[in-house]
């Protein structure tokens, strides 16, 4: 692209580094911001600067938080003996939206992925083990994605955690609600037949 301005080119280049944003989209976004008022643009950049400088991670569960300990970890209404292990804060939000979980979380900050150079030491696994040592935990739910990285991380965590007196479970895998059998992929369908559950449990 032939930019008529170096400043424009730099801003487009920075936007183009965002995931899923190509050069053309970046230019569209930058020109949109350029049309906004000075106040709007500085609100945009300040929200990012402040997020980056002031953001904290809960020192118990490592979720993004405004305080030292997040709202969930400091709530007496939650069941602190039930820890749900997730990849990142988006998963916490997704599970909170279901209103089906009353325990606490542990945010790993990623999944083990040799391809991307992410090893166990890059994740908050030590912090999880600390929690199992120091507090009374009955069950750890491994709520990780049904991908190769998720499965690898589940396997690693299972081997690390089994020395503790704690129930280790994974979230159920199978056919989505509303899913029609003929459109389900073979692996999911095959596994959901192999891991079938008694009818009483499904309606329970």
List of residues contacting its own copies (CB under 8 A): 1-8, 10-11, 13-15, 17-21, 25, 27-34, 38, 41-56, 58, 63-66, 70-72, 88-90, 92-93, 96-97
Closest CB to its own copies among 31 and 193? 31
Residue 67, SS3? Answer: coil
Closest CB to its own copies among 96 and 130? 96
Closest CB to its own copies among 127 and 174? 127
Q: Residue 102 Cβ, how far from its own copies at the closest point, in Å?
A: 14
Residue of 106, 105, 113, 116 whose CA lies nearest to 156: 113
Q: Residue 100 Cβ, how far from its own copies at the closest point, in Å?
A: 14
Q: Residue 96 Cβ, how far from its own copies at the closest point, in Å?
A: 5
Closest CB to its own copies among 78 and 160? 78
Cα–Cα distance, 71 to 92 (Å, whole number) = 12
Closest CB to its own copies among 18 and 187? 18
Taking the CA atoms of residue 148, residue 153, residue 155 and residue 159 in that order, the dihedral angle to the nearest 10 degrees is: 170
What does the buried/exposed string (b/e) look like for 124-142 if buried means 16 or more CB atoms within 10 Å of the residue's CB? Answer: bbebbeebbeeeebeebbb
Sign of CA dihedral 82, 87, 89, 90: negative
Largest CA distance in the chain: 69
Q: Residue 6 Cβ, how far from its own copies at the closest point, in Å?
A: 6
Cα–Cα distance, 27 to 1 (Å, whole number) = 10
């Amino acid at each position: 692209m032939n930019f008529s301005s170096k400043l424009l080119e730099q801003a487009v280049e920075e936007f183009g580094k965002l995931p899923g944003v190509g050069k053309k989209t970046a230019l569209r976004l930058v020109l949109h911001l350029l049309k906004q008022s000075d106040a709007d643009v500085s609100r945009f950049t300040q929200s990012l600067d402040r997020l980056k400088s002031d953001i904290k991670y809960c020192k118990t569960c490592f979720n993004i938080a405004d305080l030292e300990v997040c709202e969930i970890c400091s709530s007496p209404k939650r069941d602190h003996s039930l820890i749900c292990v997730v990849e990142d804060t988006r998963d916490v939000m997704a599970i909170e939206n279901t209103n089906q979980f009353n325990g606490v979380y542990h945010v790993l900050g990623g999944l083990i992925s040799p391809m991307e150079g992410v090893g166990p030491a890059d994740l908050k696994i030590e912090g999880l083990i600390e929690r199992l040592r120091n507090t009374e935990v009955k069950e750890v739910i491994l709520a990780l994605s049904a991908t190769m990285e998720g499965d690898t991380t589940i396997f690693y965590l299972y081997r690390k955690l089994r020395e503790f007196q704690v129930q280790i479970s994974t979230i159920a895998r199978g056919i989505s609600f509303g899913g029609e059998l003929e459109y389900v992929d073979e692996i999911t369908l095959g596994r959901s037949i192999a891991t079938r559950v008694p009818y009483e449990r499904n309606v329970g």
